[in-house]
Amino acid sequence: MQKIEIPENELLITFSKSGGPGGQNVNKLNTKVILHWNYLTSMVLDPESKFRFKEYYANNINEENFVVIISQEHRTQKANVDSALFKLNTMIAKALIRPKVRKKTKPKRSAVLDRLKTKKKDSDKKKGRREKYY
């Protein structure tokens, strides 16, 4: 996966007390990371990618168009910042990928004829099993 550079002035990172592992450190250190990023004003995404980003991650976007990512699985603040940035980087990378356009296909004429031939054969087989009334 490619590393996407997000300007630091676009990110708002806040810290609070974590509920994760860390023993006594949990009670006295702010290791939980809350990352806010406004995807609409960002220069990282083009308009088409912004639309895809909103489509994919609507649950992570609040009313002010900020993407909110919380990371508290590590014991250190630095590790949680790195984890939050990795999550954001992954989300952006997915939004940047343009989905392939589906090409409509049509079955070949021989395949259609084979299917019809098989249907006729099965129909005749079942017709032969019917009880004949005269």
| Cα gap 3→90, rounded to integer Å | 9
Domains and CATH numbers, the chain: 8-96 (3.30.160.20)
Nearest to 10 by CA among 38, 46, 30, 33: 38
* Predicted pLDDT of residue 8: 82
Spatial contact of 96 and 75, defined as CB atoms under 8 Å apart: no
* Identity at 48, one-letter amino acid code: E
User: What contacts 63, CB < 8 A, 6 or more positions away?
Assistant: none
* Predicted pLDDT of residue 128: 87
User: What single string gives the DSSP state of each residue in 22-36?
Assistant: -TTHHHH---EEEEE
8-state DSSP, 65: S
Structure token digits, residue 15: 């810290």
- For the chain, 134 residues long, give each residue's pLDDT as a single digit of tens: 667 778 788 888 888 887 756 667 667 788 889 999 998 888 888 889 889 988 998 898 888 889 999 998 888 889 999 999 999 999 988 988 888 999 999 999 999 999 999 999 999 999 888 877 66
* Predicted pLDDT of residue 5: 78
